Amino acid sequence: MSRKLEITINEHKIFASLRNTATANAVYAALPFASNVQTWGDEVYFSTPVSHQILENDAKDVVELGELAFWVEGDCIAIGFGPTPISQADEIRLAARINIWADTDYDLTALKDVQSGDAIKLELR
């Protein structure tokens, strides 16, 4: 059975499919929750009630558009949608190695209008 969630930031409704990973299981168990986003280049990130301290075998710091990441050291979810201050060329490079826990087809580049402090909500779909 596919596990899905809805992420709401302002007028953006992002539907995502959770992967079959320990990180995805930890996020799923914590749903629903709300937070406020911070921005860093073309990335939004936010604190979560999830405490998952294990980097998975496929952890990485350069992500593909549509991959949702969990930053283990910060207990944060990160959504990259373009270059960050440490990216090389057009890559989406996050600040540290992260676990990919979900995927979306939503056009994440639309998040360019999101500002630090904006509310975000995650819930089961």
**Which tens digit of pLDDT belongs to each residue from 80-101?**
999 999 999 999 999 999 999 9
Choices 2.40.100.20, 2.40.50.100, 2.60.120.10, 3.20.190.10: CATH for 4-124: 2.40.100.20
CB 104 within 8 A of CB 124: no
Q: 4-9 and 12-18 as β-strands: parallel, antiparallel, unpaired?
A: antiparallel
Output the six-digit token pair for 75: 């207990």
Coil/strand/helix, residue 108? helix
On the question of pLDDT at 1 being above 70, the answer is no
What's the rounded Cα separation, in Å, for the pair 113 and 104? 18
pTM above 0.75, yes or no: yes
Average pLDDT over residues 33-56: 96
CB 48 within 8 A of CB 76: yes
